[in-house]
């Protein structure tokens, strides 16, 4: 990893339904870090749900709010950040996150994603007659962006708890000083 990066936060990226929020909460609690979900911040600021923002202001307005929050995150410390599924598609967002956070992508197959999101109605992009087709299409478009993450973890056959444990291991490894570094006692 680039030694000029100052990793002090953890950012979870990945498609809707890969478990970013539940895993993020568990990891934050284990590390005694603050948990922040970019979608929650947007909803609180806008005083509207994501679905309402998409409907009344449009997706570009939502993406602009998302990028604004990403820039503000540079000032954070000891924070686990759960990001909206489309956030990494903007390359500036990823570059910004990488300056201060270890980026971990949670990955799942389209079938598993559908199984996890099918009873949830708050995701405007999946309110489609053929949600599985839409998931496949978006995943194919976004795969190259998700794979920019420092670490990729597949979640299909793992519980949120197991995924959280893997994320924790990876984060602790990334925070370890390089071999040969003198750590004052
Ligand atoms: C989106 C994912 C959602 C939310 C919005 C758009 C996307 O977040 O930001 O509905 O483009 O994939 P989650 O990934 O937390 O569901």
**Tens-digit pLDDT profile for residues 134-168:** 999 999 999 999 999 999 999 999 999 999 999 99
Tokens 């990876």 belong to 170
Answer for the pair 24, 112: CB distance below 8 angstroms, yes or no: no
Nearest CA-CA partner of 135 in 117, 161, 154: 117
Q: What is the pTM of this model?
A: 0.94
> Which of 23, 125, 126, 135 maximizes ligand 1 atoms within 8 Å of its Cβ, making it the mutation to test the pocket?
125
**Is the confidence at residue 180, as pLDDT, over 80?**
no
Ligand 1 atom closest to Cα of 125?
10
Per-residue pLDDT at 128? 86
Closest residue (by CA) to atom 2 of ligand 1? 85
Query: DSSP labels for 72-121?
Result: HGGG--SEEEE--TTGGGSHHHHHHHHHHEEEEEEE--HHHHHHHHTT--
Q: What is the pLDDT of residues 75-102, one digit of tens each?
A: 999 999 999 999 999 999 999 999 999 9
């Amino acid at each position: 990893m680039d030694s000029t990066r100052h990793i002090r936060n953890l950012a979870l990226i990945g498609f809707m339904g890969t478990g970013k929020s539940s895993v993020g909460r568990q990891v934050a609690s284990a590390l005694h870090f603050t948990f922040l979900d970019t979608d929650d911040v947007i909803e609180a600021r806008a005083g509207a749900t994501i679905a309402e923002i998409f409907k009344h202001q449009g997706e570009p307005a939502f993406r602009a709010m998302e990028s604004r929050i990403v820039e503000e995150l540079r000032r954070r410390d000891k924070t686990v950040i759960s990001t909206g599924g489309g956030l990494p598609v903007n390359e500036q967002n990823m570059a910004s996150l990488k300056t201060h956070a270890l980026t971990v992508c949670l990955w799942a197959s389209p079938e598993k994603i559908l199984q996890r999101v099918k009873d949830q109605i708050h995701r405007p992009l999946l309110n489609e007659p053929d949600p599985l087709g839409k998931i496949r299409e978006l995943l194919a478009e976004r795969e190259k962006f998700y794979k920019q993450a420092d670490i990729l973890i597949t979640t299909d056959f793992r519980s949120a708890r197991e995924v959280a444990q893997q994320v924790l291991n990876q984060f602790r490894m990334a925070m370890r000083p390089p071999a040969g570094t003198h750590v004052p006692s």
